[in-house]
């Protein structure tokens, strides 16, 4: 049986529709591919989350050599079962995702994702200006 890999258009259809404001249905336990952010604790920092498909494609035939497996990356690390995070995720653009990954490294308050941020503890200076 020939197994064709899913196209990117198919994989990211839900994410594209969500960003377009079409409010696509979100079903528990059925995650979709895309770029997201979430908080791990109340009033904690935003954490970048990516859901993607891991697969192997035979370069000669273009067919799958194994099953497509959905993976999730939370803070750049394996997040386990994507379904466990799915209902907490807010879809964001790829650009916003990249910015979040970068910005977390520049704002030390965001480094501990499980620590709530109290903005009144320290001022927020303009970055990259002084």
Which residues of the chain form contacts with another protein (CB under 8 A)? 99, 103, 118-127, 129-130
Shortest gap between Cβ of 99 and another protein (angstroms)? 7
Helices of type H across the chain? 8-11, 13-19, 82-85, 94-106
Shortest gap between Cβ of 45 and another protein (angstroms)? 11
State which residue, 60 or 129, has the beta carbon closest to another protein: 129
Shortest gap between Cβ of 36 and another protein (angstroms)? 18
State which residue, 12 or 35, has the beta carbon closest to another protein: 35
Query: What secondary structure letter does DSSP report for 75?
Result: T
State which residue, 25 or 125, has the beta carbon closest to another protein: 125
- Alpha-carbon gap, residue 121 to 112, rounded angstroms: 15
Query: What secondary structure letter does DSSP report for 69?
Result: E
- Alpha-carbon gap, residue 123 to 16, rounded angstroms: 36
């Amino acid at each position: 049986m020939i197994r064709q890999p899913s196209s990117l258009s198919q994989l990211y259809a839900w994410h594209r529709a969500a960003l377009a404001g079409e409010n696509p249905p979100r079903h528990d336990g059925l995650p979709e591919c895309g770029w997201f952010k979430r908080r791990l604790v109340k009033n904690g920092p935003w954490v970048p989350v990516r859901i993607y498909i891991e697969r192997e494609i035979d370069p000669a035939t273009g067919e799958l050599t194994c099953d497509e497996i959905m993976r999730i990356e939370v803070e750049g690390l394996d997040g386990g079962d994507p379904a466990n995070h799915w209902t907490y995720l807010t879809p964001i653009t790829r650009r916003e995702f990249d910015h979040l990954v970068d910005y977390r490294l520049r704002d030390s308050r965001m480094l501990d994702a499980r620590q709530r941020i109290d903005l009144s503890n320290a001022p927020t200076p303009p970055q990259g200006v002084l």
